[in-house]
Amino acid sequence: MDLAGIIKNYRDQMINEWIQYLHEKVSERYRGRPIDELKITVSRAFDASSAVLVENDFSKIDDHIQWITKIRLEGGFSLSEVQNAYELYRVILVPHLIRELKGRALKEAIERLNICLFYTITRFSDYFQSLHEKHIREHAQNLELEIEKRTKELVESEAKYRVLVEDINDGYFVNQNETIVFANKAFCDLHGYSLNEVIGKPYSDFVAARSLPMVKRLYERRLEGKDSKDLYMYFRRHRDGNIYPTENKVKGIIYQGSFAVAGICRDITERMEAERRIRESERLAHVGKLTTSLAHEIRNPLSSVKMNIQIITKKTDFDGNDKRRMEIIIQELSRLERILDEMLDFAKPIKLNLAMVSVNQIIDSCLDVLDVKIREKSIEIKKRYSKSIPSISMDYERMEQAIINIFLNSIEALPKKGLIEIETKMDSRGKNIKINIGDNGPGISQENLPYIFDPFFSIKKKGTGLGLTNVKRIVEAHGGSVEVGLRRPKGVVFTITMPVRARNL
């Protein structure tokens, strides 16, 4: 039975299960609604959601959201209550999917269900928010007519709004006189502080230095009553010193009798990273096509030259410097062939063979491979491995290739008795593994740092400029990132960040 058949055959059964869950387990407000009303609302929600899964038709769920939002707002429902009600569609449908579908069909059905619910809950939350704000504005206009009525309705509106903003996942704040006077839990979590630590602090403490002039300018224009952006992107500052891209939507309001700025901020790190990877993939695809074309054009005449020189060398009695010159020519031709192989390898898409692997084990394996080179230069290796980091889903050979490339850069740059330091640890949020590989070599100039991972960029005399590019491609193919910075007092440090993911990445 396919997805459409499951939804059709079990429709009535699943609607009854949904009604039962709503009436018994979600909230007192749902328990107080008549069964006949729930039959109507649940049936519409089920059919609208099913249209998304079976027909990829989002119009019905859009209509349903507009209809149900007004009803639930009038009924005094909170945002989270209705979000939980929508989530029940997953609870009732998944057991039937697992029973009836297998393999790829089950995976695709679950993915479509996730897309449907993400779209539904996001659109509902945005519409619920906008409709609620509209109600607040209408209240504010009417409240000017009567002082007593205005005070009463303002208190009621603020109480409802507090329930709303405490339940949303985005950060909500009120900035008055350049000070945070109200914030929800999500805002505190975004910045790494508790509520008591946030209230009363200058808003500038939560903005990264690079974005502060722009944010201040927008805030001052809003105070002056001039046109100012309601939606803008800036970098927020976390308590741990890190900065993250953030989207902010703000409005001027009257808060406790005085002008203030209310805003909703949302972390957009993943969105920006996805956009960056798309742009990078498009650029590398173009470079890859060009590289493949050039490599094929060069390889044939190069092979011909090498073959003829080898024939001449065997037939002609060279001696002394002439013989040495011919050997050098053959060596350089072989080096050119290796460069062409690297270029063709760079042009190929990366395919991963994933398995659960220990990061520490891969690093030790790389050190074993390079042991001879390390001993030749008497390089000291210092390791600080975290024992608490879990195994993660990776391609063992690809990650080994990436880490070996980083080690080779250090080994080639280091003098005799140089130092390589290796550290593995979890990040502060427990979502990523950090691998730091640093050395005390001559380092990289500040002006070259931004280009170190660019294709064909190299500061070596005989480098192709593809080693670190391939490191970046491999790490990003795993969903991670790699950065390079200067080490104090000298040298460089590479930082690989790998996400901790489930076994079925």
For residues 396 and 481, state if they share a domain: yes
The number of folded domains in the chain is 4
Co-location of 328 and 370 in the same domain? no
Integer angstrom CA distances of residue 395 from 43, 353, 358, 426:
46, 5, 11, 20
- 359 with 495, same domain? yes
Quick one: 263 and 276 in the same domain?
no
Query: Contact at 8 Å (CB) between 439 and 420?
Result: yes
Instruction: Tell me if 35 is assigned to some domain.
Output: yes
Both 384 and 437 in one domain: the answer is yes
Measured in degrees and rounded to the nearest 5, phi and psi for residue 3 equal: -60, -45
Q: What is the CATH number of the domain that holds 361?
A: 3.30.565.10
User: Which domain does 302 fall in, by range?
Assistant: 272-347
Would you say residue 148 lies in a domain? no
Model pTM score = 0.41
* 180 & 130 share domain: no
- DSSP, collapsed to helix, strand or coil, labels residue 495 as strand
Distance CA 59, CA 65 (A): 10
Over its length of 505 residues, how does the chain's per-residue pLDDT go in tens digits? 788 898 899 999 999 999 998 888 888 888 888 888 889 998 999 999 999 999 999 999 999 988 988 888 888 888 888 888 888 888 999 999 899 888 898 899 889 889 998 998 898 888 887 877 777 677 667 666 665 666 666 666 665 666 555 667 788 899 999 999 989 888 999 999 998 999 999 999 999 999 999 999 988 888 888 777 788 999 999 999 899 999 999 988 888 888 999 888 999 888 887 777 777 666 666 666 666 666 666 766 777 777 777 777 776 676 667 777 777 777 777 777 766 766 666 666 678 888 999 999 999 999 998 998 899 999 999 999 988 889 999 999 889 989 998 998 889 889 899 999 999 999 877 889 999 999 998 888 888 888 788 776 676 655 566 778 888 888 988 889 999 988 888 889 999 999 986 443 3
Residues 471 and 403 in one domain: yes
488: left (phi over 0), alpha (psi -120 to 50) or beta: beta
CATH code assigned at 342: 1.10.287
